[in-house]
Each structure stands twice: as C-alpha cells, then as structure tokens.
Structure 1
Amino acid sequence: MTDHVRWGILGAANFARRHMGPALHMGRRGRLAALATSSPDKAAPFEALAPGLRVHDSYDALLADPEIDAVYVPLPNHLHVEWALKALEAGKHVLVEKPLAMTAAEFDPVIAKRDETGLLAAEAYMIVHHPQWHKASQLYQEGAIGKLVRVSAAFSYDNRTDGGNIRNRADTGGGAVPDIGVYIYGATRFVTGEEPEEILSAEVVRENGVDVWTHITARFPSYHYTGIVSMRMAPWQEVVFHGEDGVMKLTAPFNAGVYGEARVLVQSKDLVETAYRFPSDNHYVHQVEAFNASVLDKVHYPCPLEFSRGTQAMIDMVWAKEQAG
C-alpha cells in the first residue's frame, strides 16, 4: 500500500463518469488509477479525467491488477453482491453503489467476507458524509426541536420516458424504493438512531414489475413516519422533523448542490427561523475521503455495512406489508 489509495472502477457507468469518478480522483489521499470497460468510447472521458489511467477490458482483469487497492462498483443493483464478494476475494477494499443488496439477508455474506479478509467494504451511501446531515443529527440530539412527533420525507423524479433505464427494469433490481427509498428511510434512521417497529401502510404502484410510486407510513419507538418516493412525479426532495418545540427541515437532503443549496432550517415555537447553509460541500468527495482515511489509518468508517443492512431491513418490511395487502 502506498500513501494513497489507488482506485479502480468496474464499468463506465454514467453516474461514475459524472460523479464518483471525479470524486475518487479529487478526494484527498486517493486517485483514480484504473477502469474496466471494453468500450474505448466510454473509457475516453475517464482517461481525460485521470491521465495515465489503465483501462482493462474485463472486470476480472481489473481485480487481478496488483496496483489497485480499492474498487468502486457502480453496476446494476442485481450484480452488487456478486462483485463485492469477488473484489474482497481478490484482496481489494470495495465501495458498492446503493443498494448493496436486494434483501437484508444478502448483506450477510458480504459482512462475513469483510470480517474474514479484514478489508473495508461499504455501501456508497454518500448523504451521511455531508455536513448538513451531521448538523441535523447534532441539532436533534441537542433537543433543538424537543420531543420528536413526526418525520415526513419525500424524494421524486420523472424517468417515465426512459424505458431502458435500469431503474425501470425488474431484471436489474430497479424501482423507486431500491433507488431512492434508501435515502428517505436511511436518513431518518441516521438522525434519530431508531429502527421502525411496524410498517403501518404501504401503497405501491408498479409498472412492469417495478415500483414507480410508493407511499408508506411507519411507527418508530418515539415518532410516526410518512415517506413517499416516485419515479413518475416532478423532481422534489425534502425531509421534515416535527417536534413539540420546533421543526427542522432539510431543503436539498439528497442531491445537495445539484437539486439546490443544502440548508438545515430550524423553526422554533415562536416562529423564529435559524438557517444553517452548506453551499459548497461535495458529499461524494467527503465519502471517498472517509473511505481513504479508514483504509490508510484504520479508523472507523462512518457508515458501516451494518447500518446499510438496517435500511434494507426496513425496505424488506415495506415489501412484506405490500404483499400482506
């Protein structure tokens, strides 16, 4: 291991090209060193980003590269567990796009392989690395809104015209909940530290086998939760924590800097509002830097697989409620 983490990417996904590739290369103590793709056209933007990039024509070839320390996996959802395990077996640390698995139980072999190898394996749940969420958690724990009564979360976009998108395909693990439900469920768990006791209702609209609109209500130990995700509505995102003494709202909780400026707004009982602004933080870069620090310094990674498994367990509860009618 050098004094920095040498990253490889499995596949030239658009998301990797636009967001994670630059973050891997920009993040302190790391650099993008290799890409696996059989398409020279798809490799070109990555080579422009990282001169000297080694391009392998297969995923296995990249995993066999002795000059790669860590692998980022942006493949379709149904391939995540398979390639996470292969990366760990090849001696590579691995960061896997969310959702890492399609059920909570599928996390278990990855966790076991992580523990067996002593390597770092994590789901790319970037939002909890953003300071807006650290601030929200701090304010909540300090009692800024008093006893929490209600959490309301929403995340939507419209991709109905993109039928070939993996999010619109059941065979690639698509659907609104796997894609963005992980955010509205996991973020609530992150701030409050509580797990759902029961899914009270689950209304799901499906097209071609994938959920395109899902609204749930849930009971947590100390509050009530309502959340909606959709791939058939105008873009919107917001999370509201409503307490007895105040209200805390995050205005761009999931795509900070793209959807809008990240702000945490706290309104007191007497309607006085305090705003905390985060205009320039890049949560993808923060995520990479946390990963690099964990690999190089052996420090605790802020979002372990056990946390991500808990979010998937909540998703499993939603599907069980849907099936129960």
Structure 2
Amino acid sequence: MTTENLKIALLLDSKDYGGIETHVANLAKGLHKSGHHVQIILLNNYGEHPVFESEQFLRSRLVKLDGGFNTFFNLLKKSNINLVHTHGYKAGIIGRISCKLAKKAVVSTFHSGEKGNIKIRLYSWLDRITAHLSPCICVSEQIKKSANLTADVIQNFVELPTQSFKTTVPATQVAFVGRLSFEKGPDVFLRLAKQLPQYSFSIYGDGPMSDEITATASDNVELVGHVTSMIPHWPKISLLCITSREEGLPLVAIEALVRGIPVISFDIGGIASVVINDLSGWLIAPFNEQDFIESIKQGQTLSQTQRSKMSLFGYLHIRNNFSCNAVIPQIFNVYRKALIGGSHAK
C-alpha cells in the first residue's frame, strides 16, 4: 500500500485539556501539513471539547461517538480510513480490537507512566496485554520498560509558536502545570513554595488532590485551577517546576522551553533529553528538595543576559529535536510498519 495521501484517524477518549490532547492536536496539524487526511475521533461525546473545538481546523476534523464498541467498529467498517492511531488506554483497547476485526492498520501510543487507582490499573493492564495487536510507540524509555513493551520510543513534540518567545510582559511566577495527583507531586511544590515566601508561586490544574492542595497552600501560592489553554498564561511564568514522583516525558516541559521558559525538574523519566542541565534549566537528583530550592533561587535571580541565553538555548533545542518537523517523520516510520504487516514488520 502507498503511504502517500493516507486517511488517518486519531482515536482517544477525552473531555479535558491535557498533555495527550495537546499531542493529538499537534499531530493532526503535522499530518495535515504532510499531505494526509486526518480525523480526530472521540469515543464519547462529553460536550464541547476545550482543545478540539478551540479552533476551526481541529473542529473541522472532529468526530464524536457515543462510547459504544459497536459504534466505532461500524464506523471503521464503512469508512475508507487507512490507519487508526490510538492514544490512551481506553482508545488503545477498543481501537486495536476493532481494527483487528475490521482488518485495518493500527498504531498505539503509550503516553503515561502513572499507576492511578484500581480501575485505571485494570484498564492499563488490558491495554498492555492487547498491545501486541499493533506496533506501539512510547514517549519515553521509562514507559517502555515499565509497560514491558516492544515499542519504538518517540518523544513528545510541539508545534512551534507563531510568535517569538521574547516578551515584554514581566514574568515572575514560579509555576506548576499539570494534574493534581500524587504522581505529579503538587504537595512537593507546595513545600518548596513555603520555604521561599519571597517569590510568587502558581498552580495550574486540578485533580484528585485539589482539596488537599487548597487546604495546605501558603499565602504566596495562587491556585489558578483548570484552564482550557496555557497559551495566555505562559508569558507570566518565569520558571516551570516539575516535581513529579513518576514521569514519562512531560509535554508541558517542551511547551515551556519552546517559549523560552527555563525548567527545573527532578531527573526522572525522559526529562533529561529535554532539559539540558545548566543550559535550558536545572536537573535535580530525585528527590532532593533542598537542591530544588537553590535552583529556584538561581533561576529567579538570573540577569537578563543569562536568562536570554538560557531561553534561546531551550528554544533551539526544542525546535531541532522536539518540533513537528523533527518528530512526525519518526512516527510515520511506525505507520509504514503497520501498513505493511503489523507490529513485527520491518
């Protein structure tokens, strides 16, 4: 089968803004620019979607289903879709089984290393044991190892901003951006903030630890909550902190760096491929909170020249290694494997 002008469906189950959603939106745009027809298929209709209905191009590619296996399977049988690319455990399970029955090519990306609750663990187990039905992609070596998968490791990527990362807006916030869950360590972020009352800290996101975080936040922490897009908020952020206990390759780090924002993170998962220590941010030995505090102080007292140099290095590193142009050809190599015969085809 030719791999030109393909009809590709990006399948996921989603109702909120997050790393997977941003990844799929960037992938849809990149595939479209490469000359392919793209659909974004949501397994369930949860109402207006904050990412996929935020702009005309994504809205024009969006299909919402009713959550049923038969609904997607029947759509697949009647369609001229060449390949389905699944994202997330529910889409992975349903997508791979449906494509096997409908004799369609399928690829699955594993994004997360989080363990979650018992229900999530069950779905993740089913996701892993059905993974042999398709070629797989993992966004970090850690996720590949923890899931015990035969997979290509292809790291996250972003669409380059249309505007320069340089800004005249004073950036003062030390920020946490992500799900308020134990794995992401928002409680660690709060401990750091309490020891640095001279700086302003902000938390963007919500999740199962929201009540605990609200109850224990110090006065220098602003709880912004869930936002539908970080684009209007990035210019206010001076440093991004990643305090995760477990991590794959957080897309939020790439999004910050491409906008010239230095990142401070515990050196876990695939973060070291994105944050280059002392050049685009700081990598901290897990889980040394005192060193993390010292790096925040260093970041907040950079001279304009030092910050500009660090910002430019971070931007160029992302542009050259984690942009659509750099990563989508790698993804397409996995598509070729699926189209010519499955997960073991070369």
Q: TM-score, structure 1 length as denominator?
A: 0.43
**TM-score, normalised on structure 2?**
0.41
Higher RCO (CA < 8 A, seq sep 6+): 1
